[in-house]
Structure 1
Amino acid sequence: MPLDKAKAPFTLPKLPYAEDALAPVISAKTISFHYGKHHATYVKTLNELIAGTAYEGLSLDEIVVRAAKDTAAKKIFNNAAQAWNHDFYWHSMRAKAGAPAGKIKDALEKSFGDLAAFNKAFSQAAVGQFGSGWTWLVKDKDGALKIEATSNADTPIAHGDTPLLVADVWEHAYYLDFQNRRPDYVTAWLDKLVNWSFAEENLG
């Protein structure tokens, strides 16, 4: 896991590539706004919200899991989960995506049949997600792979599943490059950006 396990105050993690590395699918301008403003604001707000609370001494993933069950900590959950989700999203992509291989290829074939079937199912979930949210490839508690769509800040780690990959389908993730054409963004993301090595690392 690349995610920062340090305690608060949290800092904005570095991107694993240059801001223009994912172009032309995701432009440097989109990364600048998405990472430099949206992601950075979640981190800043989280630090402000947890200062002086019981959450201040926890790691980011611990905050997400605990705050998900705490109705009084909804704002903390939203900002912690969005900080976590975004860092996971950046690592779910790479500049030159290849085909899945090894254990992740075998797991995909076992659960979906082949890569084309997975891409179709993932695209349907991502395009069909109403409003803002995320589309995940996860490993469930029984070890099977499944596709899961979550709304707003919700995240699989709050529910005991293990995320392998995620696509951000909030509009700010793609609107500067694709306007309202979410299907085109999802197709390009699957075809050109998926970091299958990261997925295999998370598979365990």
Structure 2
Amino acid sequence: LGLSKNVMALGVSQRTTPEAIEKVASKLFEFSDFNKILAIQIPVSHAFMHLDTVFTMIDRDKFTVHPEILDKDGELNIYILEDSGIPGQPKITHRTNLKETLEEVLGLDHVTLIQCGNGDPIAAAREQWNDGSNTLAIAPGVVVTYDRNYVTNKALREAGVEVIEVQGAELGRGRGGPRCMSMPIWREEI
């Protein structure tokens, strides 16, 4: 996930290893403007295959998050990779607080994390199955979601996000939310 011109987030998951992230980071540091990579460790589970199935950026300072990626204290392992000046050897620091880490690396005073299911564990599990955290941001604060994620869509609206609901019965068969089922979008500078 591109979080800014200089910060990217990648998930350490069932399909992406820490070694792969280090290799990607080395290439990005060498050939792009990215200077920080957040490696966010998510549970090893088919339900949480990619980072964007459990965490998406929906505005400059707002993110959806599935609560089951956080431990009982609301934390998870986050590794910040930065260019050390030595090719192939990034500087790595460890954090556990997602909100504070995002505020730090994005230079923001406040970040809002909107939970899939709005804090209700049953709604979160049901709506995760329906890709409730996999929102497609088409502009800052404007997202496309499946219409069947009532609880999460309501939480998004209450947080000031414009929600465009789509029916997705056929798309859902492919296991993916609106973000997963879209082609890359080229955006103008904002």
TM, length-normalised to structure 1 = 0.24
Which of the pair is proportionally richer in helix?
Answer: 1
Which of the pair is proportionally richer in strand?
Answer: 2
